[in-house]
Amino acid sequence: MIPELGHFALVLALMLALVQAIVPMVGASRNRLALMAVGRPAAQGQFFFVAFAFACLTWAFVTSDFSVQYVAMHSNTATPMYYRITGVWGSHEGSLLLWALVLALWTVAVTVFSRHLPEAFLARVLGVLGWVSVGFLAFMLVTSNPFERLLPGAAEGRDLNPLLQDPGMIIHPPLLYMGYVGFSVAFSFAIAALLSGRMDAAWARWSRPWTTVAWVFLTAGIAVGSGWAYYELGWGGWWFWDPVENASFMPWLLGTALIHSLAVTEKRGAFRSWTVLLAIGAFSLSLLGTFLVRSGVITSVHAFATDPQRGLFILALLVIVIGGSLLLYAWRAPKLAGGGSFSFVSRETALLGNNVLLAVASASVLLGTLYPLFLDALDLGKLSVGPPYFEAVFVPLMTPVVVLMAFAPFLRWKNDTLGPVVRRVAPAFVASLVIGVGTAFAIDHVSVRTVLGLSLAAWVVLASLQLLGTRLRERAGVSLAGRLRGIPSAWWGMWLAHFGIGIFIIGVTLVGSLNQNIDVKMKNGQHADLAGYNFVFRGVRDVAGPNYDAARATIEVSRGGIAIATLQPEKRLYRAQGMPMTEAALDIGPFRDVYVSLGEQVEDDSWLVSLYYKPFISWIWLGCTLMALGGIFAASDRRYRRLAERAAPSAAAQQVA
């Protein structure tokens, strides 16, 4: 009964989504307030029904209702409760429901936090979001109903994919979807702006906090996913340039460009058509990612079970949403030129330069991800494009981005002279080269990659510190605390996010250069050494988990005779699927991780053990955390709250077209 209620709720949600998609749009074009006002309750009602459906599916998981096919495929009576709940989004149908729920959540957020928007504009925004929602709800109901019954019901479920039975996987998909889907808000603002012809600084200012918050979620989602890969896949890699990773990374790159472009559009009124294109592009790449993961056109470790009918449906959705919005763009964008003027040397130019680089980087990732498909479609053979390609292409493209990123905040808006600015930052630039080369020698790892990485990181850190110093000197006579308080939180956001990139680069560079590992065959009482750490093997015992049996090793780690950690890596066999899993054990430290994973049993009491020493790897996630934190600071700037009052009078401005 409950699953049918869930199914019914989805149908109702689709109906409301249709209402939300059509009525306010008609109202906006005919200027009928009564019709526009329908958008808000329709969106909130839609959210209620999608959330209800989601609760129904969760209930089916919690109560192990194996007469629901999706539950029978992805849960088991022995599955722990928290993995039963996260199993809801463990595969295609349920994750699509999560997608719809997140979209409805963002839409409701728009209805709550955008009260100050002009009615017609809000009506169009909700209308666009409604159309996206219609597409996804219809997709779910037509091809991927999570409430599909299995008759007769299964006696026992097949359990959730063991790879996903991990705390990281509990939060990774919701965060990622909040990011992906969050770009739909920036997208619908852009479309509404194109429809109404209203593309001014106010529009950019309304979009900015939404875009930034979505970007924060996406950053966090990607970071958690990468952390999960690091400890769950058992050998300590953290990024694989897998198509599915790329599918989340491309919108991130373009979203980063969008955040910066919006800044220029808001402050200076420039780049308007480019900003609109980026807003369309970031969401389009999110949709494209959804297609890639669910259609089976590419092979990926993380792809869902696929079928061509689903692929065709999403492709049709893609063509309608992206094709339609690009058509609208081609029609309306030519009217958007102009804006504040600026000279060649200005912050605008630097930001636009970074925008172009980020867009090129994003396009290059897209090219590499889809190239095998292009060749295959043209019958020119099969090939693989993997990490060596992406690293070769990505590093040269991102190097100028990072150099420019730390330099641009020193430039003034509109017009500046290059000479004095260059002279100001030159000492930091030279110092970072010296630090890069010197450190590479000090750690005895002189390679282009190490020198480049360390120099870039030093440049970001030094330039950021100098920027902070400059900013603090600006208001002489005020106390330091007063000066710190005087800096708007948006500025802190920018500073933290940029600083975070420096930290991130340190982590990436050092773990790449200095990481060490050794595979040993260990018996009870034997020890091994790696990078100054001593590992003593204390045998393996059998442990029964809730839905798996494990062989758990105990390994004592010490350095210089001082005990550091007792690590217990496991080798698990999940009962329902008979799938073996390696559960690595880590000792995480600020300057290094020690990582141990247990392999096969080779002789009677000998085990293969892989030992890893990974210096500075946690700096990768520290950097991501700082970036996300920067986004939060930026989005919480006071002026977004103040604009509510100020926007209202100018709302009546005018509607071109």
Burial (CB < 10 A; 0-12, 13-18, 19+), residue 654, is exposed
Query: Of the ranges 326-334, 405-413, 466-474, 486-494, which one interacts with another protein (CB under 8 A)?
Result: 326-334
The minimum distance between CB 5 and another protein, in angstroms, equals 34
280 or 403, CB closer to another protein? Answer: 280
Residue 284 near residue 362, CB atoms below 8 Å: no
Query: Of the ranges 124-132, 542-550, 637-645, 649-657, which one interacts with another protein (CB under 8 A)?
Result: 649-657
Residue 528 near residue 518, CB atoms below 8 Å: yes
Site for another protein in 166-195 (CB under 8 A): none
Site for another protein in 190-229 (CB under 8 A): 200
Contact with another protein (CB under 8 A): which of 380, 448, 480, 544?
380
Strand partners, 563: 558
Residue 551 interacts with another protein (CB under 8 A)? no
Residue 646 interacts with another protein (CB under 8 A)? no
Residue 319 interacts with another protein (CB under 8 A)? yes
What are 421's two structure tokens?
């600015």
Site for another protein in 72-111 (CB under 8 A): none
444 or 645, CB closer to another protein? Answer: 444
Q: Phi, psi at residue 114, to the nearest 5°?
A: -115, 40
Residue 564 interacts with another protein (CB under 8 A)? no
Please name the residue that has the structure tokens 């600015």. Answer: 421
385 or 508, CB closer to another protein? Answer: 385
Residue 326 interacts with another protein (CB under 8 A)? yes
51 or 528, CB closer to another protein? Answer: 528
Contact with another protein (CB under 8 A): which of 388, 419, 420, 469?
388
523 or 638, CB closer to another protein? Answer: 523
d(CA 254, CA 288): 13
Residue 371 interacts with another protein (CB under 8 A)? yes
Degrees (nearest 5) of the Cα angle 307, 281, 378?
Answer: 50
Residue 341 interacts with another protein (CB under 8 A)? yes
Give the total residue count for the chain: 657
Contact with another protein (CB under 8 A): which of 301, 422, 446, 484?
301
d(CA 501, CA 496): 9
The minimum distance between CB 116 and another protein, in angstroms, equals 18
Site for another protein in 435-454 (CB under 8 A): 435, 438-439, 441-444
Residue 528 interacts with another protein (CB under 8 A)? yes
Residue 532 interacts with another protein (CB under 8 A)? yes
Residue 221 near residue 574, CB atoms below 8 Å: no
Query: Of the ranges 14-22, 152-160, 388-396, 631-639, which one interacts with another protein (CB under 8 A)?
Result: 388-396
Provide the strand spans (E) within 222-277. Answer: none
Contact with another protein (CB under 8 A): which of 31, 63, 81, 331?
331
- Return the closest-CA partner of residue 278 out of 259, 297, 306: 259
d(CA 340, CA 350): 15
Relative orientation angle of helices 272-295 and 201-232, to the nearest 10 degrees = 30
41 or 323, CB closer to another protein? Answer: 323
- Burial letters 156-195, b for 16+ CB under 10 A, else e: ebebbbbbbbbebbbebbbbbbbbbbbbbbbbbbbbbbbb
DSSP conformation letters of 589-635: -SSEEEEEEEEEE-STT-EEEEEEEEETTHHHHHHHHHHHHHHHHHH
106 or 183, CB closer to another protein? Answer: 183
Contact with another protein (CB under 8 A): which of 72, 140, 333, 511?
333
* Beta-strand relationship, 516-522 and 579-583: unpaired
Question: Total residues contacting another protein (rule CB under 8 A)?
Answer: 121
Contact with another protein (CB under 8 A): which of 1, 344, 473, 477?
344
The minimum distance between CB 11 and another protein, in angstroms, equals 28
16 or 454, CB closer to another protein? Answer: 454
Query: Of the ranges 4-12, 62-70, 150-158, 376-384, which one interacts with another protein (CB under 8 A)?
Result: 376-384
28, 50, 259, 333, 404 from 187: Cα distances, Å: 18, 22, 13, 14, 27
Residue 376 interacts with another protein (CB under 8 A)? yes
Site for another protein in 255-294 (CB under 8 A): 273, 277, 280-281, 284, 291
What are 282's two structure tokens?
């970031």
58 or 439, CB closer to another protein? Answer: 439
* Beta-strand relationship, 570-574 and 548-559: antiparallel
Query: Of the ranges 75-83, 169-177, 255-263, 311-319, which one interacts with another protein (CB under 8 A)?
Result: 311-319
d(CA 50, CA 134): 12
Site for another protein in 494-513 (CB under 8 A): 506, 510
Query: Of the ranges 19-27, 38-46, 316-324, 403-411, which one interacts with another protein (CB under 8 A)?
Result: 316-324
Based on its alpha-carbon atoms, the radius of gyration of the chain, rounded to whole angstroms, reads: 27
